[in-house]
């Protein structure tokens, strides 16, 4: 979907529109990584301290989430969340749990849930839902939801869309599968109601997000909001130019190359 420029407020200011309060991490590494969506443990701890200092968590002005269900969620993120008593939501790629070395197993996922954190769906195989057939949509949406509920004994009402990709058919399928909340990747999109769903945007946290930069963003500093919006527009333009398949392939290749480089170092 094409993003629209933030609408001006009464003062005619485009850039003071509130960012989504939902922050998303993809991986927490023991050491700094070249992979842009991998934050180090030290960096993540600094972020959590910042949220507490800004009093964002107790006032529900920010929500910490994770995508994919990586092993680092359990090994590195969870101890820090428990240290600061900060709740989080973990969107897991259900078909990868217990089946890929880079992802958690079911015992680890159950431990996260037992500590009071929310575990929700990120689909079954991380397939882009806009490319899915009807049978694949059933597997990604219904099978992932039912498996999580059966394994954890807890309700699953939310899904984060793989790659943030969606269209009207995908949203309708999410509603039919029994979800009430759908999360996408546009940090500028306010909460909407679509097909009886709560449709929410999120800010993807990168390892380039220092504490100072994150503080400026969360404090709604104009220059940083402008820069973030322009970066998002450039990313969407590249997606539109390359197409979803090529963009996804290129992005996956860059991620693998980053991990190979990290391993060699």
Tell me the domain boundaries of the chain.
Answer: 19-209
The CATH number of 19-209 is 3.20.20.370
pLDDT digit string (tens) for 28-64? 999 998 889 999 999 999 999 999 999 998 777 899 9
Looking at residue 234, what is its pLDDT? 87
pLDDT digit string (tens) for 122-133? 999 999 999 999
- Position 263 confidence tier, pLDDT thresholds 50, 70, 90: low
Asked if residue 11 has pLDDT above 50, the reply is: no
Q: What is the 3-state secondary structure (H, E, C) of the chain?
A: CCCCCCCCCCCCCHHHCCCCCEEEECEEECCCCCCCCEEEHHHHHHHHHHHHHCCCCCCCCCEEEEEECEHHHHHHHHHHHHHHCCCEEEEECHHHCCCCCCECCHHHHHHHHHCCCEEEECCCCCCCHHHCCHHHHHHHHHHHHHHHHHHHCCCCCEEECHHHCCCHHHHHHHHHHCCCEEECCCCCCCCEEECCEEEECCEECCCCCCHHHHHHHHCCCHHHHHHHHHHHHHHHHHHHHHCHHHHHHHHHHHHHHHHHHHHHC
Asked if residue 12 has pLDDT above 90, the reply is: no
Looking at residue 51, what is its pLDDT? 96
pLDDT digit string (tens) for 42-51? 999 999 999 9
């Amino acid at each position: 979907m094409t993003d629209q420029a933030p609408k001006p407020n009464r003062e005619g200011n485009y850039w003071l529109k509130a960012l989504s309060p939902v922050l998303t991490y993809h991986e927490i590494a023991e050491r700094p990584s070249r992979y842009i969506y991998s934050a180090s443990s030290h960096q993540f701890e600094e972020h959590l301290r910042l949220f507490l200092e800004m009093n964002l968590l107790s006032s529900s002005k920010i929500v910490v989430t994770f995508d994919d269900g990586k092993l680092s969620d359990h090994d590195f993120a969870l101890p820090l969340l428990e240290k600061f008593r900060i709740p989080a939501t973990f969107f897991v790629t259900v078909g990868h749990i217990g089946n890929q070395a880079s992802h958690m197993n079911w015992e680890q996922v159950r431990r996260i849930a037992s500590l009071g954190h929310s575990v929700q769906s990120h689909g079954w195989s991380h397939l882009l839902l806009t490319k899915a057939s009807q049978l694949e949509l059933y597997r990604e949406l219904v099978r992932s939801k039912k498996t999580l509920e059966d394994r954890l004994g807890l309700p699953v009402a939310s899904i984060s869309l793989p790659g943030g990709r969606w269209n009207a058919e995908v949203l309708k399928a999410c509603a039919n599968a029994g979800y009430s909340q759908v999360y996408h990747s546009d940090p500028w999109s306010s909460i909407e109601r679509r097909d009886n769903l709560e449709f929410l945007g999120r800010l993807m946290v990168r390892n380039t997000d220092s504490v100072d930069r994150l503080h400026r963003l969360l404090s709604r500093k104009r220059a940083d909001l402008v820069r973030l919006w322009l970066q998002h527009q450039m990313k969407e333009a590249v997606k539109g130019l390359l197409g979803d398949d090529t963009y996804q392939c290129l992005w996956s290749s860059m991620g693998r190359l980053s991990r190979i480089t990290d391993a060699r170092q």
